[in-house]
């Protein structure tokens, strides 16, 4: 089954293993016509070739009395051609009407086939082979006795020649039908995955083709040899012609049957291989159409399940990253950390909207949510652009850290630059204002909580100082305050953008903090 996230274009130009079967987005009516043509023309061609082979075998190759005599003119040029024409016509009309009736549901892309329709569609290749076998058997039962009445010695010649051709035609018909009906098979397997592997399988298909393409002509040669040993008059020349002809037929038809079998086997593998290459390149909107009822269909289905799992994993990774931050998510996936933390040098930035309580009391909730989302969009954008992480959203405020969990060269400089950028964008694009506080120093960063539920957090004096500076900045005309420690730790270019001012003792702290303004 193809995932809803996969577009028809993602299935590739040949979703059913061959461009002859058309693209995935092709209309149902046009697809029905295509399938009918691909099913009818090869079957007629296979029968015509089989008839020609049977004539050559009976007339020129197999030992026995000659059929090119005046006594057989009526049979050769009236009875036999009439039966051949009638059988071809009956086979064409019978097969076409039965096929259209059986596969009528396939013209509706929205129709989910019933169990009966699934069973009937899955049996189409086998039933077409049975139809071909019945028509060839009819020819054997009708024409052979007519020739045997003239001369009983015609009996083995007609049985062997007609039987060999019938087997080759039926085998080719099965492969042609399997190929032409891949589109229908895909619909059946999509509706009922349990129908996979109910056929003969890859091994059985290969053995069957060996029987038809190699074992049958060799067995025919052995029968000719047995006839010669049993006393049937066979000249050396006729025996040589028989061996050469059947040997040539074995080479030609064996090659054709093997090529068809290998094509049916390789096509699903090639489709999975090409799709794997796209997955390696990072494309996860990839799927292969499951159209093979053998073990190869299980391979196709398994690939689709694998890619669906990768898509789900990528969704979870993205969702995880959005909730905790991409850096925290990457660190968790890479190292699978547990509880605990480490002391390190980092910078903290705290930003809080001014007047949010009044806005909440005077404006509708959807408008407040839209304002907060626009505000946090600015904060996240600038913090990530400067290499930091938004660690927490707290109502209308946000805490960002720089230097953890992903280390950067200048945490203080990055925090100061991000603070200036946030301040400028808020002033330029929003109707509200915000206070921003920045501090730097030693912090403890790690996972805090319980074994079943924990989160990444940063604690330390620098975080507390940034929060207190934010409170003070909301009352300061500059709206952006940093500690002298943060400015002193920054690179010279960023340091020159800040001016040191008075010292204040922030709420909850003992040591005074010298303020810096941009």
In the predicted model, is pLDDT for residue 218 greater than 90?
Answer: no
Domain contains 222: no
Taking residues 97-115, report their average pLDDT.
74
Residues 6+ apart with CB under 8 A from 507: 468, 471
Residue-level pLDDT at 1: 45
Domain contains 281: no
From the list 429, 431, 428, 415, the residue with the least C-alpha distance to 470 is 415
Residue 9: band (very low, low, confident or very high) from pLDDT cuts 50, 70, 90: very low
Digit-coded pLDDT (tens) for 338-384: 566 788 899 999 999 988 777 777 888 888 888 888 899 999 999 99
Residue-level pLDDT at 323: 52
Residue-level pLDDT at 8: 46
Domain contains 505: yes
**pLDDT higher for 451 or 158?**
158
Domain contains 290: no
d(CA 349, CA 419): 7
Taking residues 500-514, report their average pLDDT.
87
Domain residues for the domain of 499 are 338-517
Domain contains 493: yes
d(CA 448, CA 450): 7
**pLDDT higher for 469 or 25?**
469
In the predicted model, is pLDDT for residue 332 greater than 90?
Answer: no
> Looking at residue 486, which CATH number applies to its domain?
3.30.70.1230
Domain finish residue from 174, 199, 224: 199
- Average per-residue pLDDT in the chain? 82
Lowest mean pLDDT among 82-86, 145-149, 182-186, 459-463: 182-186
Taking residues 212-238, report their average pLDDT.
79
Domain finish residue from 199, 224, 247: 199
Domain contains 254: no
DSSP state of 438: E
pTM value > 0.75: no
Q: How many domains does the chain have?
A: 2
Domain finish residue from 172, 199, 226: 199
Taking residues 11-30, report their average pLDDT.
71
Taking residues 203-214, report their average pLDDT.
81
Domain contains 263: no
Residue 386: band (very low, low, confident or very high) from pLDDT cuts 50, 70, 90: very high
d(CA 353, CA 139): 93
Domain contains 280: no
d(CA 126, CA 102): 13
* Range 500-512 burial, b when 16+ CB lie within 10 A, else e: eeeeeebeeeeee
């Amino acid at each position: 089954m193809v995932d809803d996230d996969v577009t028809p274009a993602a299935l590739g130009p040949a979703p059913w293993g061959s461009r002859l079967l058309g693209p995935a987005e092709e209309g149902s009516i046009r697809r029905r016509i295509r399938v009918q043509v691909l099913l009818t023309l090869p079957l007629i061609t296979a029968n015509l070739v089989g008839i020609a082979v049977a004539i050559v075998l009976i007339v020129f190759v197999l030992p026995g009395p000659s059929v090119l005599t005046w006594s057989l003119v009526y049979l050769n040029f009236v009875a036999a051609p009439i039966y051949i024409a009638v059988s071809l016509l009956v086979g064409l009309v019978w097969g076409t009407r039965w096929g259209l009736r059986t596969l009528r549901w396939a013209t509706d892309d929205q129709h989910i086939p019933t169990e009966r329709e699934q069973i009937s569609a899955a049996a189409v290749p086998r039933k077409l082979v049975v139809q071909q076998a019945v028509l060839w058997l009819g020819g054997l039962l009708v024409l052979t006795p007519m020739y045997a009445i003239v001369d009983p010695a015609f009996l083995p010649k007609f049985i062997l020649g007609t039987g060999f051709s019938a087997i080759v035609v039926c085998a080719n018909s099965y492969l042609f039908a399997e190929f032409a009906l891949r589109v229908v098979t895909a619909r059946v397997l999509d509706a009922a995955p349990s129908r996979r592997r109910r056929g003969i399988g890859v091994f059985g298909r290969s053995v069957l083709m060996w029987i038809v393409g190699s074992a049958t002509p060799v067995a025919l040669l052995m029968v000719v040899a047995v006839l010669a040993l049993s006393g049937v008059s066979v000249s050396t020349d006729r025996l040589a012609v028989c061996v050469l002809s059947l040997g040539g037929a074995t080479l030609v038809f064996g090659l054709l049957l093997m090529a068809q079998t290998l094509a049916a086997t390789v096509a699903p593998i090639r489709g999975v291989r090409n799709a794997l290459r796209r997955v390696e390149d990072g494309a996860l909107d990839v799927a292969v159409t499951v159209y093979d009822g053998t073990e190869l269909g299980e391979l196709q289905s398994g690939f689709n399940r694998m890619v669906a799992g990768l898509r789900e994993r990528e969704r979870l990774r993205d969702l995880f990253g959005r909730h905790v931050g991409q850096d925290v998510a990457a660190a968790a996936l890479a190292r699978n950390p547990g509880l605990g933390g480490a002391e390190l040098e980092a910078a903290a930035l705290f930003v809080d909207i001014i007047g949010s309580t009044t806005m909440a009391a005077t404006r509708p909730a959807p408008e407040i949510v839209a304002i907060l989302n626009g505000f946090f969009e600015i904060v996240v954008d600038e913090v990530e652009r400067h290499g930091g992480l938004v660690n927490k959203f707290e109502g209308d405020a946000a805490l960002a850290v720089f230097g953890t969990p992903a280390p950067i060269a200048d945490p203080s400089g990055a925090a100061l630059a991000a603070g200036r950028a946030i301040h400028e964008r808020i002033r330029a694009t929003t109707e509200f204002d915000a206070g921003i506080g920045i501090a730097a120093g030693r912090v403890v960063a790690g996972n805090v909580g319980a074994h079943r539920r924990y989160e990444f957090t940063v604690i330390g004096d620098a975080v507390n100082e940034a929060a207190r500076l934010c409170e003070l900045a909301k009352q300061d005309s500059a709206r952006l305050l940093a500690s002298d420690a943060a400015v002193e730790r920054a690179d010279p270019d960023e340091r020159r953008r800040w001016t040191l001012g008075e010292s204040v003792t922030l709420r909850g702290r003992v040591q005074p903090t010298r303020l810096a303004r941009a």
